[in-house]
Amino acid sequence: MKLPESYRSLRAGRVRAVVRADLVATLGAWLVAPRLVLPPRSDPLPAGRGAAYRTTLPDGSTVVVRVARRGGLIARFVRETYVGVRPRPLRELVVTTEARRRGVAAAEVLGVRVEGGLVYRGAVVTAEVPAARTLVDALRRAPDAHARQALAASAGRAVGALHAAGVFHADLNLTNILVHPGAAGPAVALLDFDRARIRRAPLSAAACRRNLRRLARSLAKLDPETALAGADERRAFGVGYREEASMPCAS
């Protein structure tokens, strides 16, 4: 797995870290410590697996730390341990960096930690997206239908750009889409690219449909009564999506 040129690899015993080059002095020693200890000023964030924290580093910068945790049935038996020769945190850093290079609105990965070898634990440090909420939370808090449609259109444009860039997000859902204030209205940042796949060309129509069905299942689960996203919001999402998605996804 080739690391982006702007990152540096560090190691201490069985702990590996990859950190953006200009942040080695800030993050390096912390990420390769024998045990990852969150700084005192760390606040838990709402997350599907309850493992994300907003924390302030010694230099005063604010980041989000996500401890890798499993979901699904396997989480009943194993929570933080993974097996594999291509650790997910490293993959997330590589894929996210490439996605951002292609113009995808992805939250920047600043550094990752992998503890162990074939059997490992991991953590990912990302730049904080200021004043951000998950899309589902933003929809719940929207004051009216017009605001909900604006959120849906912004999310549609972000997902359309994702697919046009050739990125298949394996866990596309309403909690991995962050909404934050933008110059022209709500803006979007996408999260959690640890299982994403990057193609050389824009996604095929079939791949686009599979990814959109994944998002639709998330919406159905989180909004079974269609109180947050009805026909008008879905239409706004589709319009925004077609603005950014390339053919044949946009057809």
Mean pLDDT of 146-154: 97
Mean pLDDT over all residues of the chain? Answer: 90
Q: What amino acid is encoded at 138 in this protein?
A: A
- Quickly tell me which residue has 């760390």 as its tokens: 42
pLDDT at 103: 96
Question: For residues 131 and 129, what is the distance between their CA atoms, to the nearest angstrom?
Answer: 7
Q: Quickly count: other Cβ atoms within 10 Å of residue 64's Cβ.
A: 20
Does the pLDDT of residue 49 top 80, yes or no? no
Check whether 207 has a pLDDT greater than 70.
yes
The residue with greater pLDDT, 41 or 230, is: 230
Contact 106, 99 (CB under 8 A): yes
Q: Which residues contact 188 (CB under 8 A, 6 or more apart)?
A: 105, 135, 154, 155, 157, 158, 177, 178, 179, 180
Residue 47 pLDDT level (bands cut at 50, 70, 90): low
**Which whole number is the average pLDDT over 151-165?**
97
Choose the weakest-confidence range: 17-21, 47-51, 221-225, 236-240. Answer: 47-51
pLDDT for 56: 87
Average pLDDT over residues 223-242: 95
Query: Where does the pLDDT of residue 217 fall: very low under 50, low under 70, confident under 90, or very high at 90 and above?
Result: very high
| Inter-residue contact 92 to 7 (CB < 8 Å) | no
Tokens read off for 56: 């302030």
What pLDDT was estimated at residue 1? 72
pLDDT at 73: 43
| Lowest mean pLDDT segment, chosen from 77-86, 132-141, 206-215 | 77-86
Q: What is the pLDDT of residue 76?
A: 42
Mean pLDDT of 35-41: 87
Average pLDDT over residues 174-199: 93
